[in-house]
Amino acid sequence: MIGLLVYGLGIGLMVHARVGIAPWDVFAQGISLQTGLSFGISSVVVSMIVLVCWIPLRQKLGLGTLLNAVLIGIFADLIIPFLPPLNDYLTQLLSFVLGMVIVAFATGLYISSQFGAGPRDGLMVGTQRATGWPFWLVRSLFEGTVLTLGWFMGGQVREGTLIFAVCIGYLMQRSMVLFGLEGSRKPKYSRAKAGD
């Protein structure tokens, strides 16, 4: 719960900065513009699509997965009204970068509780385990893909979006290592997988 609350703070700081939104949010916004659904419902649609992708990766749905989907948005909505005005571009940019670092830290924190990853983070962890690729690379590939799709559908892309797409993978990997999570390390192959 603390991890989700801190995550909500990070999202709130990025949204409040108004210099762009994260790639998954660009994707949800694009769906919203194309379908007429609200942004929140579009985010739920994105989460459902992502959870379907968990099936071949054999990711297990946990309580934390559901809490992630519901509570982060609520926490962000509660926090944003209390954030101070940002009167110049530099403070907007600093707010965005601080929010991004907080989101990376909070993700490692709530995943380490072992109550289940959030929909998008579970997709990253499952793909990293299946491929053996570095977590930062997996994250960057997914972020780049949804960013492009969202942009083509009309989602907002600004400098903050680019900063997030480039930096979040590495920051997430450092957070995973900090909290001692398996997903941050290259998986060790069993004898059966090696063909023995």
Q: Rounded to 5 degrees, what are φ and ψ at 36?
A: 85, 0
How many angstroms separate the first and last alpha carbons of the chain? 43
User: What pTM was computed for the model?
Assistant: 0.73
Q: 118 is written with which tokens?
A: 């959030």
Q: What is the pLDDT of residue 90?
A: 96
Q: What is the CA radius of gyration of the chain?
A: 17
Q: List the chain pLDDT tens, one digit each, 196 residues.
A: 999 899 889 988 988 888 988 888 889 888 888 998 776 677 778 888 888 888 888 888 888 888 887 777 778 778 888 999 999 999 999 999 999 999 999 988 888 888 877 888 789 888 998 998 998 899 788 988 998 999 999 888 899 998 987 888 789 888 888 888 754 444 443 333 434 3
Helices assigned H by DSSP within the chain? 2-17, 23-35, 39-57, 63-79, 89-111, 119-131, 135-152, 159-178
Q: Please report, for the chain, the start and end positions of each structural domain, with discontinuous segments joined by +.
A: 2-184
